Amino acid sequence: MDWARAHDEHDPQRYDALSSFMLLAMVSHCGMLIGRDVELGRMAATVLLPAYVLSAVVGLSARSMRPYCLALSLAMTTWWLVLAWPHFANHLFLEWSVLLFLVLSQRDPELGMKAARWMIVIVLFHSGLQKMVMGQYFNGAFLAFNTATIQNFSDFMGLVLSGDEFARIREMAGKPGTGPYAVSDPLFVVMSNLVWIGEMSLGPLLLFKKTRKFAVAAAIALIVSIELGARELIFGCLFGALLAGFYPRKNALAIWPVLAGIQLLAMFAFHLFPQLRLN
């Protein structure tokens, strides 16, 4: 767990890169609200989004103003959480936490990056633990229910499940009294179990130098595979950026413009091409 205690010469650069990424990430996420939730969407269009855009433009063009822009983004995100509570995507709380770490650690960037890394370890492990305790990943029931009720999952899982099994699940459509959603297809069950096993395993593997590169690559692969069904590009790019902060010896977060660009494209595609069903 060397990154939790040792000096890392790349952390100041990682801090700057993550700060820049977060300023644009909040623009993309907030932009998704418009047209989705009537009341919150109106607030996003008139207050939240203009504030996020102002923070991004000023913070990216004037480094000396970036601390104030991060603070403004944190304040807007706090307000967003209060307004939407408890009906918001859980990665909004992840974004709020990252912004909080960045604001509180402006004089000690290494501390901020260590806090962000610890958070990812905890989030990964707890996410897998929660799925294991729930018990509905063992036989694929949770993914099957999502396949029956969410078109994005249905599009992807239709490539995995056999024709008869897929038709049975889709016909139930999540209606009360339908079931069972347990699936006998071996590949589907393996995929379902790999989700919680991967999350619980990769979190701890990020802690150790010898396993970190593998854990970063495997965690990114896991997120990509999940997003093939969920299509949550805002969350996927956010988690990818935070995972890049683990990569040893190099500032892998230098790829932040690519990730931020994908998020912005997803935001515009959400409004221009709703048939893609991006999140």
Q: How many domains is the chain built from?
A: 1
The reply to whether 240 falls in a domain is yes
Instruction: Report pLDDT for 262.
Output: 95
Query: Which residues are CB-neighbours of 22 under 8 A, at least 6 positions away?
Result: 70, 73, 95, 98, 99, 102
The reply to whether 43 falls in a domain is yes
The answer to whether 222 touches 195, Cβ cutoff 8 Å, is yes
Show the domain range for 232: 2-140+183-276
Instruction: Report pLDDT for 20.
Output: 97
The reply to whether 80 falls in a domain is yes
Long-range contact set of residues 62-65: C-beta below 8 Å, sequence gap at least 24: none
Instruction: Report pLDDT for 168.
Output: 82
The reply to whether 90 falls in a domain is yes
Closest among 205, 241, 227, 238 to 278, alpha carbons compared: 227
pLDDT tens for the chain, 279 residues: list them.
Answer: 555 555 577 888 999 999 999 999 999 999 988 877 667 878 888 899 999 999 999 999 999 999 999 999 999 999 999 988 888 888 899 999 999 999 999 999 999 999 999 999 999 999 999 999 999 899 888 888 888 888 877 788 777 777 777 788 888 877 777 777 778 788 888 999 999 999 999 999 999 989 999 999 999 999 998 888 888 899 999 999 999 999 877 778 889 999 999 999 999 998 888 877 777
Q: Is the pTM of this model over 0.85?
A: yes
